[in-house]
Amino acid sequence: MSLPKQSPLRTRAGRRRALPTIYEVARQAGVSIATVSRVHSNEAVVAEKTRRRVQQAIADLGYKPSRLGRSLADGRHGASGIVFPDLTGPYYSEVILGYEDQAAADGHSVLILGTHGRKHAEALVRGLAGRVDGMVIMGRTISDEVVKALDDDGLPIVLLARPPAGGADSVRTENFLAAAELTSHVIDHGHRRLAFIGDPDSSPDAGERWAGFRAALLRAGVATPHNAVRSSFREHDGYAAAASLLDGDARPTAVVCANDEIALGTYGACQERGLRIPEDVAVTGWDDIAIARYTSPTLTTVRQPLRDLGALAARLLQERLQGGRTEPRHESLPTELVIRASCGCGRTADSPS
């Protein structure tokens, strides 16, 4: 009985043999490694006779270029970077999933940097810029001055959920009009003491939602709070902000929250105080994360296309990397008011307005 043939990748001792390198191909073909790279890239500058010689050497050696080798040869890293203010919570995870799916389809690996609680965040971002071919920057993680400096250095940049800066592309969702529509809907239920929980200074999105909230109150002739009740986008901070608000002298009858996690924290604060939603306090959110449709009562909110937001940022960055476009693009994706039970409508199923 004949023995099976050995794998060409293993020695007789069973150890894995090193794969052939671009240097071995170049040596066998009698050319430079740059010429080998050009043959793989199918560049027309290589003479046909030389091309055939290189191709024969590749076939004889079984050479396959690594991603790192290709990156070194053409001056690219084969990776893009994405900078987020935070990496916890369903909002960020959905956006990252959308970005990673599209980046993988484009053949890019992804390096992710979260700046929350990090000292010298701008230095970290500059360091990441030297390891990637392009970068997506979300929210107010770094200043416009740093964005412009990176753009001036020639790094392709897409800004996510923040206004344009320099020559970078930008992707956002609509906030002002949807916030005004949501607030008007709550006012239509008869509410006249409304509060907004969120930090308008923490992100451009939160600032626009606060502005839309105030615009709807002014248009309806309803007393407008001078300030928002400050809270980060996290559930436990939303709980603390809602608790201080509900324990105050003039408890609101409706609370408009800057995101769904703040709204969930508000649910907890109401429950601890024996306040019913929406009978005693109407509550609304923003984002339409998965749990919003399963809370009791179900949460009225504004749906953002979170995965689409990340995917579009990745596509715009890929356009820049391919060199097919130099003028910046500024895209805004639509949002959608989703009416459920927490505003007072008494509906338990999804009901887009």
Q: pTM of the prediction?
A: 0.75
Peptide bond into 278 cis (omega under 30): yes
- Choose between 267 and 352: higher pLDDT: 267
- Choose between 74 and 152: higher pLDDT: 152
Q: Alpha-carbon distance 240 to 294, whole Å?
A: 23
- Choose between 75 and 249: higher pLDDT: 249
3-state secondary structure of 300: strand
What domains appear along the chain, each with residue ranges and CATH number? 22-74 (1.10.260.40), 79-174+306-334 (3.40.50.2300), 176-302+337-352 (3.40.50.2300)
Region 123-130 average pLDDT: 90
Q: Alpha-carbon distance 183 to 164, whole Å?
A: 27
pLDDT in tens, 178-217: 999 999 999 999 999 999 999 999 889 999 999 999 999 9
Q: Alpha-carbon distance 230 to 240, whole Å?
A: 10
Q: Alpha-carbon distance 83 to 160, whole Å?
A: 9
- Average pLDDT score over the chain: 87
Q: Alpha-carbon distance 230 to 238, whole Å?
A: 9
- The CA–CA distances, whole Å, from 86 to 1, 83, 159 equal 63, 9, 15
Burial label, 242 (beta-carbon count in 10 A; 0-12, 13-18, 19+): buried
Read off the tokens for 302. Answer: 């504004």
Q: Alpha-carbon distance 229 to 200, whole Å?
A: 10
The pLDDT score that the predictor gives to residue 67 is 44
45-49, 53-57, 238-242, 277-281: the lowest-pLDDT one: 45-49
pLDDT in tens, 7-29: 344 434 444 445 677 778 888 99
Read off the tokens for 32. Answer: 């430079």
Residue 322 binned pLDDT confidence (cut-offs 50, 70, 90): confident
Q: Alpha-carbon distance 289 to 91, whole Å?
A: 7
138-147, 290-299, 327-336: the lowest-pLDDT one: 138-147
The pLDDT score that the predictor gives to residue 16 is 41
Residue 2 binned pLDDT confidence (cut-offs 50, 70, 90): very low
Q: Alpha-carbon distance 149 to 126, whole Å?
A: 10
pLDDT in tens, 277-307: 999 999 999 999 999 999 999 999 999 999 9
CB 258 within 8 A of CB 196: yes
4-18, 105-119, 160-174, 259-273: the lowest-pLDDT one: 4-18
Burial label, 18 (beta-carbon count in 10 A; 0-12, 13-18, 19+): exposed
CB 200 within 8 A of CB 210: yes
The pLDDT score that the predictor gives to residue 13 is 42
Residue 141, amino acid: T
pLDDT at 324 over 90: no
The pLDDT score that the predictor gives to residue 348 is 44
pLDDT in tens, 59-116: 888 877 654 454 445 556 788 999 998 878 899 999 999 999 999 998 889 999 988 8
Read off the tokens for 197. Answer: 């929980």
62-66, 157-161, 249-253: the lowest-pLDDT one: 62-66
CB atoms within 10 A of CB 309: 22
Looking from the CA of 60 toward its CB, the CA atoms found within 13 Å total: 13
